[in-house]
Amino acid sequence: MTAKTYPASLPGKADHIPVLRAVSIKSLARSLGFSACGIAKADAVEESIARRYRRWLENGEEASMSYMANYLEKRLDPRLLVPGVRSIVSLALNYAPSQLLPKGEYQFAAYALGKDYHDLMKERMRQLAGKIKELHPLLPFLPRKEAHATFPPSQQGSLPIRRQAMPASSAEDPSQTSRPCTASSSPAPQREPRWGCFCDTAPVLERYWAQKAGLGWVGRNHQLIIPHAGSMFFLGEIFLPFEVDVYDESMPDRCGKCHRCVDACPTRAIVPGEDFHASRCLSYQLIENRGELSEEAKAAMGDTIYGCDRCQTACPWNRFATPSTEPELQPKPELLSMSKEKWHRLTVEEYRRLFKGSAVKRAKFDGLKRNIQAKEQ
């Protein structure tokens, strides 16, 4: 990973805008268990990517996820989302499964086997933000005794189809509320620099910024692929109101001529040379779609009743994946003990108990029952 060096402070503003060492932030991220950390300079999204995303929306590829068109200008320029942002810290947390559901039983996408990743990521990012704050209290910039970092409320948030997610962005759903991420409960002074702490909770092109921060590249399967590690990672960002001394270089595409993910996609959602077809994606059909499953999805789902990992398991880079040892990401014993017979008898009460604190709640009880009942046809 190459890096770009910037001055220790902005010309004429050395007394007001602190600059931190990128290596210190990355060291803190590693100490908290993050698998990868990179830092990009906050700027408008590259015009070619912005045009592609606008075209994707114009073609209606977001399907029923109309919220992906919300806050478009902020999505394409993080400086509008969090005024004063200067650096974007991109973080990845490994979720490659160490234990799968029993063969022959109904299956779930790997990201959904354990605790809801939103809670896990945001908790850990808050810890990291607090530690970054300790590196530089911003005292020259803030009124005395008011030096605390404040994270503004999100611009309403997103849940991707495949975690990491949808083509050019994570999806955000206005029905999902997000608490302000704060290091202090006292009111923020007017001049206080603003921070942002996001994991599918704001209009942020997460994979784009992860690539800009040098974590990996967005592959043909529209997932961020980290070299010699694979694509099974949760992504999150911390928006910082100050510069760092060294910014990472964007990583080039390393998929080459490989098209295994294209061949593995059961619903032709991934087509070379075309934008991602969300409405065809099995993950979209089994999670985001609130109506009837498409006939193509019914024919392709196999034993899967939530999500889809086929484009990821087909990717050669995932042979390097290391199973996650995070206790919170391991499947509950109750989930491991579920049989097809039990799934078909699933009640609302059992659903709530089984998936308390789980991302599976995204599909809701009716959606999961619809998927299960499709196996009876």
Contact assessment for residue 270 and residue 261, using Cβ atoms and an 8 Å cutoff: yes
Query: ∠ CA(154), CA(238), CA(73), 5° rounding?
Result: 50
Q: Which two tokens stand for residue 321?
A: 């994946």
The one-letter code for the residue type at 311 is C
What pLDDT, on a 0 to 100 scale, did the predictor assign at position 8?
A: 44
Distance of CA 7 to the CA centre of its chain: 31
Give me the helices (H) in 155-258, please: 206-212
Query: What residues act catalytically?
Result: 200
Which tokens in the block code for residue 275?
A: 């934008």
The distance in angstroms from the start CA to the end CA of the chain is: 51
| pTM score of the predicted model | 0.84
**What are the pLDDT digits (tens) for 354-373?**
999 999 999 999 999 999 99
SS3 163: coil
What pLDDT is stored for residue 135 in this prediction?
84
Task: Name the token pair of 163.
Answer: 């975690």
Q: What is the pLDDT along the chain (377 residues), one digit of tens a residue?
A: 556 544 444 444 444 556 789 999 999 999 999 999 999 999 999 999 999 999 999 999 999 999 999 999 999 999 999 999 999 999 999 999 999 999 999 999 999 999 999 999 999 999 999 999 888 765 333 323 322 333 333 333 333 334 453 333 344 443 333 344 544 444 444 456 688 999 998 999 999 999 999 999 999 999 999 999 999 999 999 999 989 999 999 999 999 999 999 999 999 999 998 999 999 999 999 999 999 999 999 999 999 999 999 999 999 999 999 999 999 999 999 999 999 999 999 999 999 999 999 999 999 999 999 999 998 86
pLDDT digits (tens, 9 = 90+) for 255-303: 999 999 999 999 999 999 899 999 999 999 999 999 999 999 999 999 9
Instruction: Give the Cα separation of 274 and 327 in Å (integer).
Output: 39
CB-CB contact of 201 with 69 (8 Å):
no
